[in-house]
Amino acid sequence: MTRIARWLLSLALACGMQSALSVDPAAHYAQHCAACHGADRLGGMGPALLPESLERLRASELDSVLRDGRAATQMPAFGPTLAAPELQALARWLRTAPAAAPQWSADAIRASHVVMHAPGTLPARPVFSADPQNLFVVVEAGSHHMTVLDGDKLAPIHRLATRFALHGGPKFSRDGRYVFMASRDGWVSKYDLWNLAYVAEIRVGINTRNVAVSDDGRWVLAGNTLPRTLVLLRADDLSLVRVIDVRGRNGDVSRVSAVYDAAPRHSFVAALKDIAEVWEIPYADAAGKPLASLAPRAIVLDDVLDDFFFDQPYRHILGASRSGGGQVIDLDQGRKVASLALGGMPHLGSGITWELGGHAVMASPDLGQGRIPVIDMQDWRMVAAIPTNGPGFFLRSHENSRYAWADAMMSPRRDTLQVIDKQTLQVAGSVTPSPGRTAAHVEFTRDGRHALVSLMERDGAIVVYDAATLQEVKRIPMDKPIGKYNVFNKTTRSAGTSH
Ligand code: DHE
């Protein structure tokens, strides 16, 4: 369309002649978008373009991506091709669910499965000299990459492209050799950290929450929001074992909030977003003997769980809905045993535990308020609410550190992390890696001596601090680093990090 024709179209639309000119976003989608994003909007070379996939994109961001394209990707600018009202109509259409609910069947899952290296074909030793237990993987959201970092030298050893928009904690096999990642678009990838090579990939859904890996190394379980399913895979080659419909006892279906491995219980635990049940799926008996059936056991609750946290023995889960309703569930008894008066919008998934006055306590950030609630793990009372600069996402510590680090990334103070003394429950210091720019998510080195902070910007960095003196040690440039994960801390289920 020429510039004059576009101007005439804009003028006509402004004069209320839409129907005469018929802006047809579906036709524009078919013509300009379908080749990369799929005729069914489920994604292809580009990501899925459904309301669920676009939930996190602000209206102005979607407008600018359509108009100006996305730098360093294949996404072109449509500003020169489509008039502003056509782009607006297209953006509105993308935010509208298709008439027929999108399907992702077992056959579609199987058809997406690719094995790059069959189990047992790659050497069982690292191709580098770094300590494989002190590696970090860093998720760089800017251009969808992952960096493998040597935690001793604090230097990258490899960088690889990932699927679009990884989210949540990548999960490691017990020996730390393999890392399993999930993308919001439903791709699950298995990567061999010792050989620095992808092993297998499969698309388990259209919109996925996260994955868990069984401690015995046999299974991967993925939780979806679209479709409403849990998908069980073999961990060795990611082949599909079973699709489990998430349907409660009254027949209602539910999105999955998150799924975790409860290693000491030999089970997976899945929290559900739309029905007041939590599901436990045992994969081995108490003696560790594998079970064949992997049948879910539903525990009925008072409220749904958006977020939850295991105590260190994995007997209890502390769960909360985004509305602040909290409950303690005893997995052995299969029932709620206490209420948690948390208020706010607790982010229990980012909780940590430590010993305070002979008791285990748990603390987690609040997505809605500038405070960190601290809960006694014996009587479930809130023993303190530590005031912070503002609502934050992540809280992190290490057994060898006296401090817990909290961000305030949902507030105007998003550039500063506060460092809380775990014994006095007072803020002992703060760091501002780059004034005015978002800094959040901390992970410690294996020995707890260094704390790595993400400067979450396109020209961002991992900023390394001495965890005792809070002095900056090093800056490693990265493209919008989000989360980073230390193999040792994760595989030993450190009390200072999420599992
Ligand atoms: Fe996350 C973990 C849910 C938005 C970055 N996030 C998780 C997990 C859940 C979750 C359930 C645990 C998964 C696991 O361990 O396998 N996240 C949610 C939400 O419900 C929320 C608020 C809305 C949504 O869009 O889903 C949300 N999360 C975000 C972001 O906007 C963040 C900051 C940037 C992004 O890339 O999406 C973000 N989430 C993270 C990170 C983790 C995470 C870095 C891993 C934390 C860890 O250290 O284990």
Q: How far is the CA of 220 from the centre of ligand 1 (A)?
A: 19
Q: Does 170 have pLDDT greater than 80?
A: yes
**So what's the pLDDT on residue 484?**
97
Confirm whether 15-94 and 377-499 share one CATH topology. Answer: no
**So what's the pLDDT on residue 6?**
52
Topology of domain 15-94 in CATH is Cytochrome Bc1 Complex; Chain D, domain 2 (1.10.760)
Does the domain at 377-499 match CATH 2.130.10.10? Answer given as yes
**Residue environment code for 201-231, b if the CB has 16+ CB neighbours within 10 A, otherwise e:** bbbbbbbbbbbbbbbbeebbbbbbbbbbbbb
CB-based pocket (< 6 A), ligand 1: 56, 141, 167-169, 209-210, 258, 349, 393, 441, 482-483, 498
What pTM value is reported for the model?
0.92
Q: What is the best residue among 167, 274, 486 to mutate for testing ligand 1's pocket, by most ligand atoms within 8 Å of CB? A: 167
Q: Does 16 have pLDDT greater than 70?
A: no
Query: Residue 13 — very low, low, confident or very high, per pLDDT cuts 50/70/90?
Result: very low
Query: Residue 11 — very low, low, confident or very high, per pLDDT cuts 50/70/90?
Result: very low
In this structure, which residue's CA is closest to atom 11 in ligand 1?
Answer: 258
In this structure, which residue's CA is closest to atom 41 in ligand 1?
Answer: 168
Give dist(CA 209, CA 167) in Å, integer: 8
**So what's the pLDDT on residue 3?**
52
**So what's the pLDDT on residue 356?**
96
Q: Which atom of ligand 1 is nearest to the CA of 171?
A: 16
**So what's the pLDDT on residue 114?**
98
DSSP-derived secondary structure for 40-75: TSS-SSSPP-SHHHHTTS-HHHHHHHHHH--TTSS-
Q: Between β-strands 145-150 and 155-161, what pairing exists: parallel, antiparallel or unpaired?
A: antiparallel
Q: How far is the CA of 27 from the centre of ligand 1 (A)?
A: 35
Q: What is the pLDDT of residues 19-67, one digit of tens each?
A: 444 579 999 999 999 999 999 999 888 889 999 889 888 989 999 999 9
Q: Does 4 have pLDDT greater than 60?
A: no
Q: Does 427 have pLDDT greater than 90?
A: yes
Give dist(CA 485, CA 496) in Å, integer: 12
The percent of residues above 90 in pLDDT, for the chain, comes to: 82
Report CA dihedral (309, 311, 313, 314) to the nearest 10 degrees: -30
Domain boundaries, the chain: 15-94, 377-499
The percent of residues above 70 in pLDDT, for the chain, comes to: 95
**Span 194-222, average pLDDT:** 97
Q: Which atom of ligand 1 is nearest to the CA of 182?
A: 16
Give dist(CA 291, CA 232) in Å, integer: 14
Cα–Cα separations (whole angstroms), residue 157 to 166, 171, 199, 458:
20, 20, 19, 20
More confident residue, 176 or 168: 176
**Span 75-101, average pLDDT:** 92
3-class state of residue 102 by DSSP:
coil
Report CA dihedral (232, 50, 170, 264) to the nearest 10 degrees: -40
In this structure, which residue's CA is closest to atom 9 in ligand 1?
Answer: 168
Q: What is the pLDDT of residues 337-353, one digit of tens each?
A: 999 888 788 889 899 99
Q: Does 15 have pLDDT greater than 50?
A: no
Range in 69-73, 222-226, 323-327, 481-485 with the lowest mean pLDDT: 323-327
**So what's the pLDDT on residue 130?**
98
In this structure, which residue's CA is closest to atom 24 in ligand 1?
Answer: 56
DSSP-derived secondary structure for 370-438: SEEEEEETTT--EEEEEE-SS--S-EE--TT-SEEEE--TTSTTTT-EEEEETTT-SEEEEE-SSTTS-
Give helix 84-94 / helix 59-68 axis angle, nearest 10°: 130
Tell me what the pLDDT averaged over the chain comes to.
92
Q: Does 89 have pLDDT greater than 50?
A: yes
Name which of 119, 125, 117, 211 is nearest 163 in CA terms.
Answer: 211
Range in 140-144, 255-259, 310-314, 359-363 with the lowest mean pLDDT: 310-314
Q: Does 420 have pLDDT greater than 80?
A: yes
**So what's the pLDDT on residue 101?**
85
Ranked by mean pLDDT, which of 88-92, 291-295, 480-484 comes out on top? 480-484
**Span 162-172, average pLDDT:** 93
In this structure, which residue's CA is closest to atom 49 in ligand 1?
Answer: 169
Are 246 and 228 contacting, i.e. CB atoms less than 8 angstroms apart? yes
